Amino acid sequence: MSAHTLPEATFSRTVLGSGPGLALAHGAGSSVVGTYGPILDGLAAGHTVVGIDYPGSGATPRSTTPLQLDDLADQLVAAAVAEGLDTFALSGYSLGGPVAIRAAARHPERVTALVLTATFPYRDSHLALAASVWRKLAESGDRELLAEYLTMMALGADALQAMPDEQIQQAIGFTAASIEEGTPEHAELAPRVDVRDDLPHIKVPTLVVSTTQDEFTSTRMHRQLADTIPGAQLVEMRTGHLPMVERPEEWQKLITDFLDRHRA
C-alpha cells in the first residue's frame, strides 16, 4: 500500500489506547516517554498511540553509523502498521517534526493529519550552532554540563525566570539523568535535515505549534512550515522548547482538538 516499501519494524515502541491511530516522533536526545510522557495518557484516551524510540533511545540499540531521516520516517510508519493501523495521524516534536514530514511524504496514503511542534524544515545558522555545541557536550561525557546547557536553552524565559535556584538545580539533575545514549547521533542528524522540498506536497490537515520563546527552533522556522504546507494552521504557545514541561495540558488540548476536528 505504501509508496515506498516498508522495512521490518525493529525500533522499540510504546503502544497505548484505542481508537484512531496516532504515531509519535520524539525529539533529539529524548524518547517517546521523554517527549510525550506528560500527555501520553491524554492522547491515548481517544487514540491508538504508537511511538518509536530512535537508535540510542529507550530500548532501541545505539547506531554505529550516522542516522538517516528516511530510515527514521520509515520505521515510524512500519511500527504503526505493525500495530494494525492502516492509516493514522502523525505528531512530530522538534527533530520528530522532519521525521513526521518525511513519513507523510514517503507514505502519503497512510497519513490522515499532521501535528508539528517546536520544529523546523531545515537547519538555520542558529540551530546549526546549537546542535554542534549539543553534540560536542554529549560526546564529552560531561552530563552535568550538557544538562546545564539544555536547561538554559530549552526552558522558556518565563519559566526559567520563575524558578528559584534550588528548582533550577533540580531541573539540571533530572535532565542529566534522562539524557539518552544516542544523543550525539541525534544531534549530528539535526543539522543535516532538510525537508523543504516535501512541504508543498503535504496534502493532509496540518497544525504547526509555534513555541514563541524557543531558543532551539525559531518562530521564523515555524512560520515557514505553516506558510509552505498547503492549508496549514499555525497556533502559538508562550513556552520555550519544552511545552510538555511548561504547559502540558495546553499542548495536549491543541493536539487532540485539532485531530478531533479533522478525524478521517
In tens, the pLDDT along 162-203 reads 999 999 999 999 999 999 999 999 999 999 999 999 999 999
Statement to judge: residues 78 and 208 lie in one domain: yes
In a domain, 235, yes or no: yes
Express each pLDDT in 77-108 by its tens digit: 999 999 999 999 999 999 999 999 999 999 99
Rounded Cα distance between 252 and 33, Å, is 14
- Buried b / exposed e along 82-103 (16+ C-beta atoms within 10 A): ebebebbbbbbbbbbbbbbbbb
For 157, residues 6+ apart whose C-beta sits below 8 A from its C-beta are 213, 240
Give yes or no: residues 21 and 147 share one domain. Answer: no
Torsion of CA 256, 38, 21, 7, to 10 degrees: 140
CA angle 82, 80, 61 (to 5 degrees): 80
The CA distance from 99 to 94, in Å, is 9
Tell me: pLDDT of 262 over 90: yes
Count, residues in the chain: 264
Whether residue 215 sits in one domain with residue 88: yes
Count other Cβ atoms within 10 Å, centred on residue 222: 26
Let me know whether 225 and 110 are in one domain.
Answer: yes
Q: Is the pLDDT of residue 1 over 80?
A: no
> At residue 205, does pLDDT exceed 80?
yes
Residue 150 inside a domain? The answer is yes
Q: How many domains does the chain have?
A: 2
Are residue 32 and residue 84 in the same domain, yes or no?
yes
CA distance 244 to 188: 24
Are 114 and 101 spatial neighbours (Cβ–Cβ below 8 Å)? Answer: yes
Residues 203, 257 within the same domain: yes
2 contacts 70 by C-beta, under 8 angstroms: no
The three-state (H, E, C) secondary structure of 153-187, written as one string: HHCCHHHHHHCCHHHHHHHHHHHHHHCCCCHHHHH
Task: Evaluate whether residue 237 is within a structural domain.
Answer: yes
Same domain for 152 and 118, yes or no, is no
The answer as to whether 59 is a domain residue is yes
Mean pLDDT of 12-29: 98
What are the tens digits of pLDDT across the range 139-170? 999 999 999 999 999 999 999 999 999 999 99
pLDDT at residue 263 in the model: 83
Residue 163 has what pLDDT? 96
**Residue 234 in this model has a pLDDT that exceeds 80:** yes
Q: Which CATH number do you get for residue 17?
A: 3.40.50.1820
Mean pLDDT of the chain: 96
57, part of any domain: yes
Tell me: do 149 and 118 sit in the same domain.
Answer: no
Give me the sheet containing 206-211, strands edge to edge. Answer: 13-16, 48-52, 21-25, 88-93, 111-117, 206-211, 233-237
Task: Residue 101: give the domain boundaries.
Answer: 13-124+193-261
Distances from the Cα of 47 to the Cα of 19, 89, 214, angstroms = 4, 10, 28
Is residue 2 domain-resident?
no
Cα distance between residue 237 and residue 251, in whole Å: 8
